[in-house]
Amino acid sequence: MQYVHLGRSGVRISRLCLGTMNFGPHTSEPDGFAIMDQALELGINFFDSANVYGWKVGEGVTEQIVGRWLAQGGARRDKVVLATKVFGRMGDWPNQSRLSAFHIKRACEESLRRLQTDHIDLYQMHHIDRDCPWEEIWQAMEQLCREGKVLYIGSSNFAGWHIAQAQELARSRHFLGLISEQSLYNLLERTVELEVIPACQAYGIGLIPWSPLARGLLGGALNPSTAGRRADKDVRKDIETHRAKLEAYERLCGTLQAMPATVALAWLLHQPAVTAPIIGPRTMEQLTSALQSLELTLTPETLKALDEIFPGPGGAAPEAYAW
């Protein structure tokens, strides 16, 4: 396994992050335990969750599964860099969501209880809260850090200017601020190249791409022998929308003698700003196959061919659309 620093922090994480979103809704608890055991055995030390995963309001189903796995001992907690998130709705009362200091404190305490741990290594804001001032957010996060309940802070789904705004205020408070940003990023979705990636690189923030396979579109969506999420009506619509690109992509993968999912992950690993793509295996087979991406080297010619199939926005703003 390869390890890198998470942003400008001193902590080192595996180049693949184990996403746990499927644990509960799509993967049983015993199978989730087996996947986490195998991930740790393979050297994956970065596990990502969120308090809303499991999609039963207020229950934190997935965090509970991860917590019961950690509680088995065997130095599991010591080996894992544990990440979770705050923002989503955890109840029907007005202050049971978003990023008020009121909610952050309670959400953190509840995540700690479900995860059966005394601290969260990376506590991520799941979305920007435009109605809450940064002074309030940073005050709440600083308090959690002082209490030892949180070690590092990350963001998710932030725009580039949100990152800059957050970091400049953190700097004025002599606080480390964000060390990571979790963004939608894959061959089909490259908007973050305009503003988010430049902001991350300027501030030393690690980029953690989610949905690296674009909901399965980049995982061999045209192969009739594979189903999974591609049975979803919206995903089938996306397949038809992007059919020409996907046909060219899968032909290219064939010439490389590599699985489409492997190529999609390898492409992300070749992007300088990317720290660790999040893989969300539903099965053990999906976990082990993801590891192949670490061994696949894409030549400049292949990277150019992928850019031709899936052209990005043209690089960073403003040069991407101006001069």
Residues tagged active-site: 53
Residue 214, Ramachandran bin (φ over 0: left; ψ between -120 and 50: alpha; else beta): left
Cα–Cα distance between 159 and 196 in angstroms, integer? 6
Task: Please state the three-class secondary structure of 148-162 as a single string.
Answer: CCEEEEEEECCCHHH
Candidates 192, 200, 197; CA nearest to 166 is 200
Place of tokens 């040069």: 319
Residue type, 75: A
Cβ within 8 Å of residue 234, ≥6 positions away: none
3 state DSSP class of 146 = helix
Asked if 67 contacts 107 with a C-beta cutoff of 8 angstroms, the reply is: no
Cα–Cα distance between 178 and 153 in angstroms, integer? 5
Structure tokens at 201: 């690189």
Buried b (16+ CB within 10 A) or exposed e, 200-215: beebebbbbbbbbbbb
